[in-house]
């Protein structure tokens, strides 16, 4: 059985539940969007969960932000297909949904109230876009990438034995 993740914004206007096979908070994204939107340490931690199981209370308080990206990978400027859902009352970032991968949502670990498993290794990504003051804490067993890793969140969980069946 997948694990049930319960999450909420800070003020409680939005609460959600979603099931996940992949609950380990191992993936640290240093991109400019994650950092600005909710990355107090210079990165955000993205989980993956099963979109079809998402239940939201307080839907009317949700806002959706679609970032305009203009960087080396998007030289002409482009609006991200990713829909970053946040609470319009308190500003907490909650999850990302991208219609390119409609079966998944990516809750931010920071919005989850349930206990999460502690990962034995981390993946650091988008390091090319980290802010100068951020000193990534990359352990010997960690993997680090300028842009994206080839390994999916599902594959990481299967390789490390953290996949929840
Ligand atoms: Zn709120």
Kindly give the distance from the C-alpha atom of residue 93 to the centroid of ligand 1, in angstroms, as a whole number.
Answer: 9
CA distances to 56, 61, 65, 146, 154 from 76, rounded to whole Å, are 36, 33, 20, 20, 32
Kindly give the distance from the C-alpha atom of residue 97 to the centroid of ligand 1, in angstroms, as a whole number.
Answer: 18
Which pLDDT value is given to residue 84? 94
Kindly give the distance from the C-alpha atom of residue 54 to the centroid of ligand 1, in angstroms, as a whole number.
Answer: 18
> Are the C-beta atoms of residues 18 and 107 closer than 8 Å to each other?
yes
User: pLDDT tens digits, the chain, 165 residues: what are they?
Assistant: 999 999 999 999 999 999 999 999 999 999 888 888 877 889 999 999 999 999 999 999 999 998 877 777 777 777 888 899 999 999 999 999 999 999 999 999 999 999 999 999 999 999 999 999 999 999 999 999 999 999 999 999 999 999 999
Kindly give the distance from the C-alpha atom of residue 58 to the centroid of ligand 1, in angstroms, as a whole number.
Answer: 9
Which pLDDT value is given to residue 79? 80
3-class secondary-structure state, position 42: coil
Q: How far apart are CA 42 and CA 21, in angstroms?
A: 26
Kindly give the distance from the C-alpha atom of residue 87 to the centroid of ligand 1, in angstroms, as a whole number.
Answer: 5
């Amino acid at each position: 059985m997948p694990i049930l993740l319960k999450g909420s914004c800070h003020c409680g206007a939005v609460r959600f539940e979603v099931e996940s096979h992949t609950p380990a908070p191992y993936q640290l994204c240093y991109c400019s969007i994650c950092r600005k939107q909710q990355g107090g340490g210079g990165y955000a931690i993205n989980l993956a969960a099963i979109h079809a199981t998402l239940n939201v209370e307080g839907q009317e308080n949700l806002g959706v932000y679609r970032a305009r990206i203009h960087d080396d990978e998007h030289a002409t400027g482009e609006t991200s297909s990713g829909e970053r859902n946040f609470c319009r009352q308190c500003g907490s970032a909650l999850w990302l949904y991208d219609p390119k991968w409609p079966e998944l949502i990516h809750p931010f670990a920071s919005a989850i109230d349930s206990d999460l498993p502690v990962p034995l290794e981390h993946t650091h990504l988008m390091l090319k876009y980290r802010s100068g003051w951020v000193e990534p804490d990359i352990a010997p067993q960690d993997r680090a990438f300028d842009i994206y890793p080839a390994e999916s969140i599902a594959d990481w969980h299967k390789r490390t034995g953290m996949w929840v069946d």
